[in-house]
Amino acid sequence: MMGVRILFVDTPIQAAKVSFMTTYQDRKAERTARYHREHGLKLITCTACNGSGIYDNHGTPPCGCCGGTGKVRERPPSPPVTKPHWRETLRRQEALKAARRARR
């Protein structure tokens, strides 16, 4: 949340506008923080309850992992890092050697 603002106002209408804007700014800050927390997350099936929301069918409480929704937010796996082909590496090394020779 944002810090306390001390504003001097002349009329009650200005006071109402200021209080609305401070609450708006607080709500906006919360929305922004939530977006940055959840950006890039994907909903996947909960592995603890297998997507059912409860552990078994004997009247147990909702799943503690997903809260009974059957879905969990997780980051998707990152793509594998590919190394350049050995010929590309050799070509870059040769170009670097030629550039160093040209500087002499």
Question: With contact defined as beta carbons under 8 Å apart, do 26 and 34 qualify?
Answer: no
Closest-CA residue to 50 (of 64, 73, 69, 70): 70
Count helices and strands (H / E) in the chain.
Answer: 2, 2
Residues for the chain: how many in total? Answer: 104
**Rounded CA gap, 11 and 72, in Å?**
49
Q: Where are the domains of the chain?
A: 9-39, 40-77
pTM: 0.42
Closest-CA residue to 48 (of 31, 29, 67): 67
pLDDT tens for the chain, residues 1 to 104: 445 555 555 666 666 666 666 678 888 888 888 888 888 888 899 998 888 888 877 778 888 889 889 999 888 777 777 777 888 889 999 999 999 999 87
Residue 72: helix, strand or coil by DSSP? strand
Task: State CA 71 to chain mean position distance.
Answer: 17
